[in-house]
Amino acid sequence: MRVVFVRPANFALLLLAAALAAFLLSFADAARLRLARATASAAAAALVTQLKLTDPVLFTEARYTRHLSQADLQSAFQDHPVAFEHFPSGSLVIPPAGVIAPYENLDRKAKAPD
């Protein structure tokens, strides 16, 4: 059996070139997968419009993690004073300041009724 000697540099550069080609191909594959999965995305969007949904189903263990955009600002530790925080969802879904701020602005802009 003949043993073919491959120069180490050529082997390394070939592997790197293959990896680079795969890296670039991943972008083309991403475009292909986006097209292939577009139907599922459209189905979800259509259901949101039909049922007037406001939140995706990501964290179902508590009310304030299930509907992040609808939860009131006091929902955490909701069931009783020493209820555990729902880790790690609670860490992932801390209300960002940017969401609370517009609510405060709207509140202050509205005139108090007579």
Partner 1 sequence: MRTWIEKQKHLIDFTLASLMRRKAKNLGLLFIYTLLVFVLASAALYTHALRQEAQKALAGSPEIVLQRLIAGRHDLIPPGYIEKIGRIRGVQKIEGRLWGYYYDSVVKANYTFMAPRDMQIERGEIIVGPALERSRGLAAGNGISFRAYTGELFTFIVADVLPQSSELVSADLVLMNEEDFRAFFKIPPGYYNDIALSVANPQEVRNVAIKLLTALPDSRPILRDEVLRTYASIFDWREGIMLTLLAAAILAFGIFAWEKAAGLSAEEKREIGILKAIGWETGDVIKMKFWEGLLISLTAFLVGYLAAYLHVFYFSASLFEPVLKGWAVLYPRFTLPPHIDGLQVATLFFFTVVPYTAAVLTPIWRAATTDPDTVMRA
Judged by CB, which is closer to partner 1: 1, or 35? 35
**Distance from CA of residue 78 to its chain's centroid?**
25
- Provide, rounded to whole angstroms, the least separation between the CB of residue 3 and partner 1: 18
Quick check: 65 and 93 in contact, CB under 8 A?
yes
How far, in Å, CA of 61 to CA of 69, rounded?
Answer: 16
Q: What contacts 66, CB < 8 A, 6 or more positions away? A: 55, 57, 59, 60
Positions in 18-77 near partner 1 (CB under 8 A): 19-20, 22-23, 26-27, 29-30, 33-34, 36-41, 43-63, 66-70, 72-74
Judged by CB, which is closer to partner 1: 1, or 111? 111
- Provide, rounded to whole angstroms, the least separation between the CB of residue 18 and partner 1: 9
